[in-house]
Homo-oligomer: A and B are copies of this chain.
Amino acid sequence: MEKRKKIVVVGGSAAGPKAAAKARRIDSNAEVIMLQKNAELSMASCGYPYYVGGFFDNRDMLLSNPAGITRDPVYFKNAKDIDARVNTEVTAVDKNRHMVFFRNTITGETGEMTYDKLIIATGATPLMPPIPGIELEGITTLQSLQDADFLRKIGDDGEVKKAVIVGGGLIGVETSEALQLADIEITIIELVPQLLTFLDWELAKLVENHVRSKGANVITDNGVAAFLGKDGKLTAVKLRNGTESPCELAVVAIGVRPNVKLARDIGLTIGATGGIEVNAYMQTSDPDIYAVGDCVESVNRLTGKKVFAPYGDLANLQGRVAGENAVLGNCVTFPGTIQTGICKVFDYAAGSTGLSEFTAKRLEYPDIITVINASLDKPGFMGGKLLVTKLVADRKTGKILGAQCVGPGNVAKQIAQWSMAIQGNLSVEDIVNADLPYAPPYSLAIDHCIATAHVMQNKMKGRMTGISSMDVHQKLANNEKPFLLDVREPGEYRQMRLGVGETLIPVGALRSRLHELPQDKNIEIICFCQVALRGYEAALVLKHNGWKNVKVMEGGVASWPFPREK
Query: A residues near B, CB below 8 A?
Result: 14, 25-26, 28-29, 44, 46-47, 50-51, 55-56, 58, 61-62, 66-69, 75, 78-81, 301, 311-317, 320-321, 334-335, 337-344, 349, 351, 353, 376, 379-382, 410, 412-413, 415-417, 419-421, 423-426, 430, 432-443, 445-447, 450, 454, 463, 488-489, 491-492, 507-509, 511-512, 530-531, 534, 536-537, 540-541, 543-544
| Count of identical protomers in the assembly | 2
The residues of B that contact A47 with a CB separation of less than 8 Å are 379, 381-382, 440
Option from B69, B349, B439, B511 in Cβ contact (under 8 Å) with A343:
B439
Option from B337, B342, B433, B511 in Cβ contact (under 8 Å) with A437:
B342
Q: How far is the CA of A144 from the CA of B191 in the complex (A)?
A: 58
Nearest CB in chain B to that of A430: its residue: B423
Known A313-B445, A445-B46, A530-B66; contact A434-B423, beta-carbon cutoff 8 A: yes
CB <8 Å contact, B381 and A537: no
Q: How far is the CA of A141 from the CA of B435 in the complex (A)?
A: 27
The CB with the most chain B CB atoms within 10 A, among A25, A316, A423, A440, is that of: A440
Option from B50, B341, B420, B489 in Cβ contact (under 8 Å) with A417:
B420
Known A51-B381, A344-B441, A382-B47; contact A435-B338, beta-carbon cutoff 8 A: yes
Known A423-B424, A423-B430; contact A382-B417, beta-carbon cutoff 8 A: no
Besides A25-B536, A67-B492, 12 other A-B contacts (C-beta < 8 A):
A25-B463, A28-B543, A44-B379, A47-B379, A50-B381, A51-B381, A78-B512, A301-B435, A334-B433, A349-B442, A423-B426, A424-B430
Q: How far is the CA of A86 from the CA of B417 in the complex (A)?
A: 38
Q: How far is the CA of A454 from the CA of B324 in the complex (A)?
A: 13
The residues of B that contact A463 with a CB separation of less than 8 Å are 25-26
CB <8 Å contact, A437 and B450: no
The residues of B that contact A380 with a CB separation of less than 8 Å are 61, 66
The residues of B that contact A44 with a CB separation of less than 8 Å are 379, 381, 440, 445
